[in-house]
Amino acid sequence: MPFKRLEDKLPLTDECRHYDDVADVPWDIQKYWHQRYSIFEFYDYDIRFTDEAWFGVTPEPIASKIANDLASKCSPSKTTLVDLFAGSGGNVIAFAMSERWSRIIAIEKDAATLACAQHNADVYGVREYITWVHGDSFEFLAHYNRGTPDSQGQQELLNNNDDDDDPALRINPADTTIFASPPWGGVSYRNHEVFDLSQMQPYNLDAIHEACKPYEHTLYLPRSSDIRQIAKLAPRADQRSTSCSTAWRARPRPWWLSCLLLLPVMMLLLQTLVTNQKRTKKNQPNTQVQACFETLSFLLTCTNNGQHGGFTMLPYHPLIYLF
């Protein structure tokens, strides 16, 4: 089996580092090291990372926000949470600290990174509340997705499980929600005004969504992600499930609501134009007006695409966080 549940804590290796002095930090992660207390508030209590993990960890305030949102928006019937890409533990620690879930499964492919995650969870006092899995998350889902769910996606998929299946790892769509914060392919996504999610490495959006599709799932993606690609994940109207009553539905707003939402921006733009006519020199670039136009353009784009702000939950399909 290409994955296994860990009975004991993995030992820290030479790759699991804690930097106290910036002079010891590799140049390409120094900017992240300077933000270490935003990434983990308890960094000084021997928080560990592999050098690669610095690029992918979710900062603690954002991880806590996501954990609180999932705790409040998911149906009470969802009692199991699976973190497909646990990394150094940023998200899964926040999920455990929310005390919302009866069972949390954290999957990580790299042994050294997983050792860091377990160690960091120990620092926060939540390691024992998490089931740790060393292996490939796609293999994990493929193994437990055998069978055919019914039209509501609620049928348990484990009817044909092997006798050696670990009961602690069994999941089904009725009580499981999945969280995926996949690697974005390094920091190169920042070089794109609109990030093509089909080029995300090593796993693109379609591959992740297809693997998670039987389950309610949450994706954590760059804020510059192509909204059109995300919108395609929405089910057709005749396929929408009503089982997730708390879902934020990706549907177009009424025209009058769109106008109402744009009114404050239009007023701010008008006020800025009047103010700058009095205070700025002729032909001088006006960054405030430019910012207002950019905001207006973003709202128009969101309205046109039927999106709803910072994140969108599609019925029994993904909740998308853009940061």
Count CB neighbours of 155 within 10 A: 16
Distance set, CA 37 to CA 41, 43, 166, 237, 298 (Å): 5, 6, 37, 45, 32
Task: Look at 295 and 97; give whichever has higher pLDDT.
Answer: 97
Task: Look at 99 and 164; give whichever has higher pLDDT.
Answer: 99
Phi-psi region of 46 (alpha: psi -120 to 50; beta: other; left: phi over 0): left
This model's pTM is above 0.85: no
Mean pLDDT of the 45-51 span: 97
Mean pLDDT of the 318-322 span: 53
Is the pLDDT at 154 greater than 50, yes or no?
Answer: no
**pLDDT tens digits along 235-264:** 665 444 323 322 232 334 455 666 676 777
Phi-psi region of 25 (alpha: psi -120 to 50; beta: other; left: phi over 0): beta
Is the pLDDT at 308 greater than 50, yes or no?
Answer: no
Given the DSSP bridges, would you call strands 176-180 and 80-83 parallel, antiparallel or unpaired? Answer: parallel
Task: Look at 155 and 211; give whichever has higher pLDDT.
Answer: 211
Is the pLDDT at 63 greater than 60, yes or no?
Answer: yes
pLDDT at 6: 93
Structure tokens at 100: 């919302």
pLDDT at 301: 39
Mean pLDDT of the 317-322 span: 51
Quick one: CA dihedral 32, 37, 42, 44, positive or negative?
A: positive
Q: Where are the domains of the chain?
A: 3-248+314-322, 255-305
pLDDT at 147: 52
Q: Which residue has the tokens 């740790």?
A: 132
CA 121 to chain centre: 19
The secondary structure of residue 81, as a DSSP letter, is: E
pLDDT-derived band at 298 (thresholds 50, 70, 90) equals very low
CB neighbour class for 129 (10 Å; exposed up to 12, middle 13-18, buried from 19): middle
Task: Look at 57 and 260; give whichever has higher pLDDT.
Answer: 57
Is the pLDDT at 89 greater than 50, yes or no?
Answer: yes
- CA pair distance 5, 169, nearest whole angstrom: 8
Mean pLDDT of the 183-201 span: 72
pLDDT-derived band at 316 (thresholds 50, 70, 90) equals very low
Mean pLDDT of the 186-204 span: 74
Mean pLDDT of the 94-102 span: 96
pLDDT-derived band at 160 (thresholds 50, 70, 90) equals very low
Question: Do residues 122 and 130 lie in contact, with contact meaning Cβ atoms separated by under 8 Å?
Answer: no
Selection from 60, 293, 313, 4 nearest residue 322 by Cα: 313
Is the pLDDT at 47 greater than 80, yes or no?
Answer: yes
pLDDT at 317: 41
Given the DSSP bridges, would you call strands 130-135 and 103-108 parallel, antiparallel or unpaired? Answer: parallel
Q: What single string gives the DSSP state of each residue in 236-293?
A: PGGG--SS-TTPPP--PPPHHHHHHHHHHHHHHHHHHHHHHHHHSPTT---HHHHHHH
pLDDT at 200: 81
pLDDT-derived band at 281 (thresholds 50, 70, 90) equals low
Fold topology of 3-248+314-322: Rossmann fold (3.40.50)
List the end-to-end C-alpha distance of the chain, in Å, as a whole number. Answer: 35
Is the pLDDT at 295 greater than 50, yes or no?
Answer: no
